[in-house]
Chain A
Amino acid sequence: MRSIDELDWGTPAVSDATLVTLEIDGFSVSVPAGTSVMRAAAVAGISVPKLCATDSLEPFGSCRLCLVQIEGKLGFPASCTTSATSGMRVTTQNARLAGLRRNVMELYISDHPLDCLTCPANGHCELQDMAGAVGLREVRYGFEGANHLAVVKDESNPYFSFDPSKCIVCSRCVRACDEVQGTFALTIAGRGFDAHVSAGNDQSFLASDCVSCGACVQACPTATLIEKSIIEQGQPDASIVTTCAYCGVGCSFRAEIKGAEVVRMVPNSDGHANHGHSCVKGRFAFGYATHPDRIRTPMVRDSIQEPWREVPWDEAITFAAKRLQKIQAQHGRGAIGGITSSRCTNEETYLVQKLVRAAFHNNNVDTCARVCHSPTGYGLKQTLGESAGTQAFDSVMHANVIMIIGANPTDAHPVFASQIIQRLRSGARLIVIDPRRTDLVRMPHVAADFHLKLRPGTNVALINAIAHVVVSENLIDHAFIAERCESGTFEKWRDFVIEPQHAPEQSENITGVPAAQVRAAARLYASGGNAAIYYGLGVTEHSQGSTMVMGIANLALSTGNLGRQGVGVNPLRGQNNVQGSCDMGAFPHELPGYRHVSDGATRASFEAAWGVTLDDEPGLRIPNMLEAALDGSFRGLYIQGEDIAQSDPDTEHVTAALEAMECIIVQDLFLNETAKFAHVFFPGSSFLEKDGTFTNTERRISRVRRVMQPLGGKADWEVTLMLAKALGYPMEYRHPAEIMDEIARLTPTFSGVSYSRLDEQGSIQWPCNVRAPDGTQTLHEQTFTRGLGRFVVTPYVPSHERTNDKYPLILTTGRILSQYNVGAQTRRTRNIAWYAEDLLEIHSHDAETRGVIDGDWVGVKSRAGETVLRARISDSVQPGVVYTTFHFPESGANVITTEHSDWATNCPEYKVTAVQIVKVTQPSAWQQRHSRLDRTQKKLLNEREPLRS
């Protein structure tokens, strides 16, 4: 069932500059050439009955309900598959057509349950609507003949039900799976009367390849595929457009509600990032917002050994402010800081950095981008001048060659992955650079031309080898370099990469990638037409993350693959507002808009607006804060929306630092791992309770609109305001729109952004200012943000993490489709049906030599620590490499990751940890300690002193 508030135009829009004019039922209408007669009729305000057509899918012409008559043409063509042409005269309604349509409907209804009043789709069922539209009054065949009414439902999927008895075999679900999602999990099995929708090979939906994106449910015209939330709660009666709070794609959704209750989330067909598509997280996994674990009342305690005490907001704020002030009085103004999160809105993040700079009087503010894409900010700023991806998602449809480095879009950015898959199936070539065989390497109708399966930690050696081929075989774009790049830096870089040690034949020993593959992939990238690079945390979360980002930019510069559609350098940001949190100045060295704190003119503009003197020295990054906590010079931390005790590396180091601090303030939805070390807990708001904006990985700013009231009684931005006021720095805003207005006044790239413009346009890609009043789809079109593109020499420096006899394997970490980041949200949803624990993927060769079989408990030991995970034998990883995720706190994946980090930004080296694997029978010592801590802290929570009324 499509969104209750969206019109269905029947067939997809066509973009063609040529218009054709035709007459439908006597009305003249002009539409782009190639538009279907059905859509042209809809444009003219005429609704043609239909069942198998919907505007998100290519026309199919199977239901025969949309028949029309066209003057001069024989028969009754289907209006969905017939293109409108100039001068065409169409009749959509007459007695003959009505008779034919009634006959068709009569056949459908003869094998359909007549339970409309108790059907969950009642009132929003297209079959029911069409029966009414064609005037069906009887079914002459009766209902006693052979039918499908007793076919058993498939309830295996946690979020939707499949009731074959209501199926009209229109194939909309099958086509949605093929055309929109690209998984090919569904098919029509059988022929004639036996024809039926089959998940996989007549498997249950849960057991099939279905990824639960919801496209089939949205496409279904009946209640055959329908959300269980609608079955349980009834139909929604209103919708609010908002933005998903999961990955960096930033899908637009319609939150469909009934009163204050969210019934379902439906992807917005007008969504500029997702074009009406979704994934299992955004579409279905929103139940955490009302989970019983939500903490709804502020709490305080003097020490982490004490039970929590519920207090009113003002008391909690005063408690926190006094503690922070006391620390600063005793240990200096640099002894406290703040951490904000990519799960927060731009406005919230802006306020946290303002609080730290204006009320804490220092620059000790950081964001979780520190541990994911900070190298992107550094590397792209150095080379191109702007700390952001260059393209819009739609640009990929113009790419001839797609290079994906260290990213797994089908799991981590699934909606954009569907767009990539569409482009690949229409002819683009694919290069994957990844230690693991990701789904995109080979899937139905997609096969990578090259999978460069490198050893973890050797990215820079590989990018230099690719560059060596480009230079030595003269595949460079001389004209682009001469016109667009900085003189001197190219020559320096060229002379560097041409050195013999960078030849693929030499670096093969380092990377493990055969030289011939590297050469062929480099030739394809450099000479295959428009070449676009998409990269993820497999690039950034390394000791040379920043170097690799610059290596990627060098490659794009040298081949002229920047500044137009179909090319570019595109980071795929892990969380929904990574881009935004960086834009908003949540880094200790940068004010909003990526301007260094030492820049006097920028600082002066903020000082004038904020009425304070700002520190001109860089502050502490998250890992520096933790180090400083251990030496006693950093003692207080305000954390909004982050869970560093689970997400950051070397867990025992993190928790020791947290324990060493005097005042930890956590503002979050749940008592997360970090909150177990906290002294103050402010109840945070889920995205459904927020008003603000998120900025996705394509620099697209989208509105987040409040769907329900904050369960804790205060919006997150209001909490920051209260804390600032208690610290003697009142900030006056009545609504987040006013915060955005201030951001726009003070940040040149945002000067044209406002809530009214966002409401008008739907979304805006920054820069949005006088020069680009509607925003900017593609960066660096005429010149680079820094003027001329700059090549940077990128030496390969091996990681400190080395394998040896004691630690012979390399562990690399990542994400899975159904879970998100630390799992605080998705673990509290039915998504655990797909993934209920972190698993260790190990190659059969490595498993065999250790006597490990699938499902065994194995100890994973590194120089930092040890944990125990269940093994999964997999050939996705190469021998010598093991892989796990970090979605479950008890897994302790980050107990094993080390303190090593990117040289430029301190982004942790999550992707390279030397480990040993042994078969074990009990949890690790850390897990046993964690279990005790967890039990104790939950007890202290459960025994909290209730709020006195």
Chain B
Amino acid sequence: MNIERLVEMANDIAANQAADRPSAVVLIAQHLRRFWEPRMRKQIIDHLHNGGAGLGDEARAAVALLADPIHNQK
């Protein structure tokens, strides 16, 4: 899928949940986990591993959390 589009979507999720501190990053990761189809999640994780261009700080942290099997709870 278009990675720019996925990055924009991840950043939008982050922007709307960033105010929910201190759990924002966990909430963003949960959102990605619950609503994004696996190939979308894989693609954004791969993108992060390739530098994560365009991802904002919270989105980046959330994708990192999503990639971490310990935190990858449904």
Contact = CB atoms under 8 A, between A and B. Distances in A.
Contacts of B18: 795
Contact of A793 (B13, B19, B31, B37): B19
B1 A627 contact: yes
A624 B2 contact: no
A133 interface: no
Given A544-B16, A795-B16, A797-B15, A624 B1 contact: yes
A442 interface: no
B54 to A, nearest CB: 13
A124 interface: no
Interface string A623-647: 0100110110100000000000000
B16 A619 contact: no
A793 B16 CA distance: 9
A903 B19 contact: no
A904 B5 contact: no
B8 A800 contact: yes
Contacts of A363: 37
Contacts of A620: 37, 40
A274 B37 CA distance: 41
A658 B19 CA distance: 38
B1 A795 contact: no
A589 B19 contact: no
Range, interface on chain A:
35 or more
B12 interface: yes
Contacts of B71: none
Given A627-B2, A628-B1, A630-B2, A547 B34 contact: no
Contacts of B38: 334, 617
A589 B8 contact: no
B20 interface: yes
Contact of A903 (B13, B34, B36, B74): B13
Nearest to A899: B5
Nearest to A460: B16
A720 interface: no
B36 A618 contact: yes
Interface string A506-546: 00000000000000000000000000000000000001101
A165 interface: no
Contacts of B9: 901, 903, 906
Contacts of B12: 543, 797, 903
A618 B34 contact: yes
B9 to A, nearest CB: 7
Chain B interface: which size bin?
20 to 34
B74 A598 contact: yes
Contact of A588 (B13, B31, B37, B39): B37
B31 A904 contact: yes
Interface string A354-390: 0000000001100000000000000000000000000
B15 A903 contact: yes
Interface in A595-628: 596, 598, 616-620, 624, 627-628
Given A618-B34, A630-B2, A903-B13, A795 B19 contact: yes
A795 B37 contact: no
Interface in B7-32: 8-9, 12-13, 15-16, 18-20, 31
Contacts of A903: 9, 12-13, 15-16
Interface string A556-596: 00000000000000000000000000000000110000001
Contacts of B36: 618
A755 interface: no
Contacts of B8: 800
A797 B1 contact: no
A800 B12 CA distance: 10
Contact of A631 (B1, B16, B37): B1
A496 interface: yes
Residue among A546, A624, A905 facing the most chain B CB atoms (10 A cut-off): A624
Contact of A633 (B5, B39, B74): B39
A792 B27 CA distance: 12
Contacts of B1: 624, 627-628, 630-631, 633
Interface in A330-369: 334, 363-364
Given A589-B34, A598-B34, A627-B5, A904 B16 contact: yes
Interface centre among B13, B16, B18, B31 (most CB of A within 10 A): B16
B37 A624 contact: yes
A544 B37 CA distance: 21
B19 A496 contact: yes
Contact of B35 (A334, A633, A904): A904
Interface in A707-757: none
Contacts of B40: 620, 624
A627 B35 CA distance: 16
Nearest to B2: A627
Interface string B48-74: 000000000000000000000000001
A393 B74 CA distance: 38
B28 to A, nearest CB: 10
A246 B65 CA distance: 45
Given A364-B37, A596-B34, A793-B20, 11 more contacts: A596-B74, A618-B35, A620-B37, A624-B37, A628-B39, A633-B1, A792-B20, A797-B15, A899-B5, A903-B9, A904-B13
8 contacts: A496-B19, A589-B34, A598-B74, A628-B1, A628-B39, A903-B9, A903-B15, A904-B31
Interface of A: 334, 363-364, 496, 543-544, 546-547, 588-589, 596, 598, 616-620, 624, 627-628, 630-631, 633, 792-795, 797, 800, 899, 901, 903-906
Ranked nearest first, the 6 interchain pairs of A and B with the lowest CB-CB distance are: A903-B12, A598-B74, A627-B1, A795-B19, A797-B15, A903-B16
